[in-house]
Every structure is written in structure tokens, then in C-alpha cells.
């Protein structure tokens, strides 16, 4: 059994847990936007493809969160997994910003 008082474990709980929650928040918001609005600056296919990628990322995130919780928050997540999520969130932010700008025009 590992020592849950190790500095690395505290770092995972302090940094990784809120990061996973942030991803969850932004994927949920993005999914809602993509499911409820027709985005005039995207084709239907582009919007459907982005929605599919968000759903896939949510599935991956949910699996990662389950593993993180099952290991008592002592297992990290590879940057190769986190970076595509970060890129997808950035893409979704840009879409949301364009949507707000289009509504204000």
C-alpha cells in the first residue's frame, strides 16, 4: 500500500483534480451549445463533427476520473491524453466566442 502523504500525491490532488473538473465543465458547456444551437458560421457537418469529438473526450475524461478516484487520487494522467483535451477546449472556446459575437451583431 502506498503512502498517501507523499508530496506527489498531494500535487495530484491539488492540481489534477481541479483540472479534470475544469475539463468536465467546459466539455459540458460546449456539448450543450453544440446540441441546442445552430451555428451559422459552421456547416452542419462541422458542428456534428465537433460535437462527436466533445462526446468522445467526455467519455475519455469520465474514464480517467473513475480511474483517478479508484486509485484514491494517486495516479496521474499522461500529457499525451491531456493535451488533446486542452486543444479541444480551446477550439470550443473559440466557437463559443464566435457564437456570442454573431448574436451581438
Domain that holds residue 80: 7-104
Q: State what percent of residues in the chain have pLDDT above 70.
A: 91
What span, in angstroms and rounded, lies between the C-alpha atoms of 42 and 95?
9
Please give the distance of CA 20 from its chain centroid, rounded to a whole number.
7
Burial of 60: CB neighbours in 10 Å, binned 0-12, 13-18, 19+? middle
Looking at residue 75, its pLDDT comes to 83
Half-sphere exposure of 67 toward its Cβ, with a 13 Å CA cutoff?
11
In a domain, 92, yes or no: yes
pLDDT digits (tens, 9 = 90+) for 20-30: 999 999 999 99
In a domain, 1, yes or no: no
pLDDT above 70: residue 5: no
pLDDT digits (tens, 9 = 90+) for 15-64: 899 999 999 999 999 999 999 999 999 999 999 999 999 999 999 999 99
Mean pLDDT in the chain? 91
Looking at residue 74, its pLDDT comes to 83
Q: Which position has the higher pLDDT, 34 or 4?
A: 34
In a domain, 2, yes or no: no
Cell digits of residue 53: 469529438
Q: What is the DSSP string of 65-83?
A: HHHHHHTTT-----HHHHH
In a domain, 85, yes or no: yes
Structural domain total, the chain: 1
**Which DSSP letter does residue 42 get?**
S
Amino acid at each position: 500500500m502506498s503512502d498517501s502523504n507523499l508530496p506527489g500525491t498531494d500535487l495530484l490532488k491539488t492540481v489534477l483534480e481541479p483540472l479534470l473538473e475544469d475539463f468536465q465543465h467546459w466539455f459540458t458547456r460546449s456539448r450543450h451549445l453544440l446540441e441546442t444551437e445552430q451555428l451559422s458560421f459552421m456547416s452542419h457537418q462541422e458542428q456534428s463533427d465537433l460535437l462527436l469529438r466533445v462526446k468522445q473526450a467526455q467519455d475519455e475524461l469520465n474514464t480517467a476520473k473513475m480511474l483517478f478516484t479508484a486509485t484514491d487520487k494517486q495516479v496521474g494522467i499522461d500529457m499525451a491524453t491531456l493535451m488533446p483535451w486542452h486543444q479541444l477546449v480551446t477550439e470550443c472556446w473559440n466557437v463559443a466566442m464566435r457564437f456570442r459575437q454573431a448574436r451581438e451583431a
